[in-house]
Amino acid sequence: MRIGVLTGGGDCPGLNAVIRAVVVAGHRVHGDEIIGYLDGWRGVLERRSVPLRASRTGDLLAKGGTVLGSSRTNPFASGDGPQRALDNLAEDGVEALVAIGGDDTLGVAQRLGVMGLRAVGVPKTIDNDLWGTEVTFGFHTAVQTATEAIDRLQTTAESHHRVIVCEVMGRHVGWIATYAGIAGGADEVLVPEVPFEVGAVCERITHRHERGRYSSIVVVSEGALPAAGADLEAATAATSSGPVDQFGHAQLGGIGAWLAAEIQRRTGYESRHTTLGHIQRGGTPTAFDRVLATRFGVAAVASVHEGDFGTMVALRGGRIVRVPLAEAVGHPKTLDLTLLDEVAAPFLG
Ligand code: F6P
């Protein structure tokens, strides 16, 4: 069988491990021929692909990023895009497509599936916000990176008796902030799911410092915002910038800097901010993510060979299952708030 594979959206540690698993399992187990489209859906629209051979995948397992390249190209952003994508895949003789991506990339696969594409999705995103799977590969690595950064921020914050605000990724959800906040012993964790009161944050920091702890670590998701009023307006103006991408997303960033300045102004405590940004996306995947990525890749090939299209492979209860793409896309998997309310709460403030 001739199988196409692509990686779309923001890159993520473990993408290459999935590619390797698809190529090796496809070739060695089923005798498949695999071609990789370059730069996500853009490669399909421009008919740019490369043959992928099992013998050439040796160094992929531990390599960060994606050797196929990625983009946020949306075929549905142009009138003839969807049909062009289907025609190009047909002309290339692609009988099934493994799409590795987040909500946007898999949303395109689902919509093209309605038009006849035989697609299987693999859930990717450091944000861990894809519905239907308990965890996406890349999340574990991003949390590890953010936790190591918070560990380092703790010691310099203590030395200088400062408040340090650490901004982590998470456009719609606070999974990275919460996991890294718990693992790094943060004093405040602010997430998009729970709009925050700047005044209350400052009060807790002041109370904490009056109790004799002269440093604080605040972890904030890039998508977190104050609840309402002038703070919301000011923070919104400080955080989204530039044109939106083809899926309608503005570039985020800046809440950490804004919040650190507000904390210093309102409490009088010297405050600094650090934005971890793409450091969380780059680099080699953890062992957990390598294993999960490999399981997903092998399972995607099995799904193709069983003719189970329009599905996404997923992790549930420790097992790999398949969920309909139509159920998985379009609504982010928001944070399990018990993590904040029950697990993190005793350590915050
Ligand atoms: O992949 C998701 C994500 O990491 C979001 O958390 C973040 O807002 C976005 O990607 C950043 O994307 P870009 O690399 O296009 O700036």
State the distance from the centre of ligand 1 to the C-alpha of 219, rounded, in angstroms: 17
CATH fold, domain 141-282, is: Rossmann fold (3.40.50)
CATH number of this structure's domain 2-138+285-328, picked from the four choices 3.40.50.450, 3.40.718.10, 3.40.50.10610, 3.30.540.10: 3.40.50.450
Measuring CA to CA, which residue among 77, 65, 90 is closest to residue 9? Answer: 65
Take residue 115 and report the two structure tokens written for it: 């038009």
pLDDT digits (tens, 9 = 90+) for 137-154: 999 999 999 999 999 999
Q: Specify whether 127 is catalytic.
A: yes
Residue in 127, 187, 231, 289 annotated catalytic: 127
- pLDDT, residue 212, reads 85
* Per-residue pLDDT at 217 exceeds 80: yes
Q: In CATH terms, are 2-138+285-328 and 141-282 the same topology?
A: yes
Contacts of 121 (CB under 8 A, 6+ apart): 98, 99, 100, 101, 105, 106, 109, 110, 300, 311, 312, 313, 325, 328
Q: Which of 39, 106, 127 to mutate to test the pocket of ligand 1 (most atoms within 8 A of CB)?
A: 127
Cα-to-centroid distance, 167 and ligand 1 (Å):
13
Q: In whole angstroms, what is the distance from residue 153 CA to residue 274 CA?
A: 9
Claim: this prediction has a pTM higher than 0.85 = yes
pLDDT in tens, 45-62: 999 999 999 988 889 999
Q: What is the mean pLDDT of residues 163-180?
A: 97
Q: Residue 313 carries which DSSP code?
A: E
What number does the ligand 1 atom closest to the CA of 169 have?
6
Distances (CA, A) of 130 to 125, 179, 323, 341: 8, 16, 12, 22
Q: pLDDT exceeding 70 applies to what percent of the chain?
A: 100
Average pLDDT score over residue span 229-236: 95
Domain ranges of the chain: 2-138+285-328, 141-282
Return the residue whose CA atom lies nearest to atom 9 of ligand 1. Answer: 10
